[in-house]
Structure 1
Amino acid sequence: MEEQEKNLCSPCLSLFTCLDPNDLCPFCYQERERHEKRGGKCLVKSSALKQLVTVFESRGPQRMIARHYAGGRSYLSKSIAAYMSAYWIDQGKPLPDCVVPLSLPWYEKRRLSGNPHSALAENCSFFFACPCVPILKHRIFKTEQTGGRCHFSYRPTTSSYSYHEWFKWVKKNRQSVEDQNVLLIALDQGDLTALIEAAECLQEEYPKSVSALTFI
């Protein structure tokens, strides 16, 4: 973290302040005003996620660092993971029994390496002194629209039918998280639905709890 701070100017450092949970929803760490747009409903509270903890606001120098990291500057992973782990511990959260990186659909689809969530999870597992269990991946389906009904299909997209891709969470291997406190790791909240779906998939392994931790 000290090395990262040397790369920031004084004005940026003054904005590098962690979120105050007292001003946020205790379940999703979002401003309560956002709930009003959903009719006062918190998506995390009514989901399989026990809690979603976010370290920084998604703006300013934090957003810039996250963007650089996602853009390929992998050397930032240790600094980002250090902030995430330190904030989790500082908030008095229980240490996880294992961490699970969030999968990314376009990495699975294109068979790319270097999922940014995976590197963060590996570094967080070091700081938390617990194993990193890459148990999730995306399964890609193509749907065929005919007569207003949707059919699953694995036929090529060169067909005359209209295909729509969607992603389902599946267990990547047989590593078990049964009876463990699982912590999902992601760079940002991004699509909150993806974090919730991942937690629901992990519930099939009967963990004690599933929480999530993001940088922004």
Structure 2
Amino acid sequence: MLEMLGNIVFPPLCLHCEERLDKGGRLICKACASFFELIDPETRCPYCFTENGGSAPCCECVEKRRWGLQVGAALEYFGPVATFVKKMKRGGMPYLAKTGGAFLFGQFQTLGWPMPDLLIPIPRRSWLQGTNHATLLALSLGKLLGVPVREWVKRTSGDLSQARLSSSQREALAGENFFLKKKAKIEGKVILIIDDVRTTGTTLRCTAQALKEGFPKRLYALTLARAGFD
């Protein structure tokens, strides 16, 4: 009776369009749920996950020789997916990371990568307070894969203006702010880096560069969503 009354006074609404939901504990209406379709890796560059018409490296990754890190993403960051991520990060709904982890798990299975020894979330900036949502996603995926999660990369905050720097200069400067923690033991291990959204890929590459100091066997990176910027 109380649940019925609650649904009348505070009816469950879709996270994105706020359409009233049917019974069943859904968070997204059927129309918005259609946007949550896993990206087909067969149409993407394996090093930046840009749509490429095939699974060969794109021209930019060939030119910049980005061979050290294979990258994947579960979903495209727009519409209901973008709303879902924003609600998870800033909308007081960190529990959505459990659902996000399920999408990461599905895409990991599709990618056919080797089982990682460790999941390492992207570190948040040192001045930010609160939850690291990349860690929540990593914990959710780690539970499904049976793989441990370790926060072994530290990020400091750079205070220099980068407005007039080129993309390569910004990446070089950003890389100076990522460090592998002394206690990290990753030599010879397969590492999967986890983040919520990939935009330019700079943060992923800087994290990978820090991890290389520990001599891992292979590095991969998987994000919940991919924004259409490079």
TM-score higher than 0.5: yes
Distance 1:4 1:114 in 2: 29
Paired residues for 1:160-175 under 5 Å:
168-175=177-184
1:44–1:52 CA distance, 2 compared to 1 (3 A): farther
Specify the SS of the correspondent of 1:187: strand
What is the one-letter code of the residue matched to 1:117?
A
CA contact (8 A) 2:134 2:196 kept: yes
- Give, in whole Å, the separation in 1 of the partners of 2:183 and 2:210: 14
Q: Of Structure 1 and Structure 2, which has the larger fraction of its residues in strand?
A: 1
**Equivalent residue in structure 2 for 1:211, among 187, 200, 220:** 220
Residue 95 of structure 1 aligns to a residue whose secondary structure is coil
Task: Report which structure shows greater RCO (CA 8 Å, sep ≥6).
Answer: 1
Secondary structure of 1:121's partner?
helix
Asked whether the 8 Å contact 2:180–2:214 carries over to 1, the reply is no
- What is the aligned partner in structure 1 of residue 204 from structure 2? 195
Alignment of 1:1-216 (within 5 A): 6-32=26-52, 40-42=59-61, 46-47=65-66, 49-71=68-90, 72-105=92-125, 108-110=126-128, 112-142=129-159, 168-216=177-225
* Equivalent-residue separation in structure 2 for 1:180 and 1:44 (angstroms): 28
Q: CA–CA distance in 2 between the matches of 1:181 and 1:199? A: 12
- Taking a change above 3 Å as real, the CA distance of residues 81 and 4 of structure 1, as seen in their structure-2 partners, is farther
CA contact (8 A) 1:99 1:184 kept: yes
**C-alpha distance 79-194 of structure 1, shift in aligned 2 (>3 A):** same
**Runs of 5+ unmatched residues, structure 2:** 1-22, 162-172, 226-230
Residue 95 of structure 1 deviates from its aligned partner by: 1.2
Secondary structure of 2:127 counterpart: helix
Percent identity, aligned pairs only, is 24
Instruction: Tell me the CA shift for residue 45 of structure 1.
Output: 7.2
Could you tell me which amino acid in structure 2 is paired with residue 215 of structure 1?
A: L
Unaligned runs of 5+ in 1: 34-38, 145-164
Contact 2:48/2:201 (8 A) holds in 1 = no
Aligned to 1:215, what secondary structure does the other structure show? strand
Aligned length: 186
Deviation of the 1:55 alpha carbon: 0.7
| Structure-2 change in CA distance of 1:69 and 1:43 (3 Å) | farther
Which deviates more, 206-215 or 83-92? Answer: 83-92
> Which stretches of structure 1, 4 residues or more, deviate above 4 A after TM superposition?
141-144
C-alpha distance in structure 1 between counterparts of 2:194 and 2:28, whole Å: 25
Q: Deviations over 1:38-60 (max 9, x none)?
A: x9312897236431011111112
Give the TM-score of the pair, scaled to structure 2: 0.72
Secondary structure of residue in 1 paired with 2:75: coil
User: Aligned partners of 1:4, 1:53: CA distance in 2, in Å?
Assistant: 31
RMSD over aligned Cα, in angstroms?
Answer: 2.7
Residues 19 and 56, structure 1, Cα contact 8 Å, conserved in 2: yes
TM-score (norm 1): 0.77
The alpha carbon displacement at 1:142 in A equals: 4.6
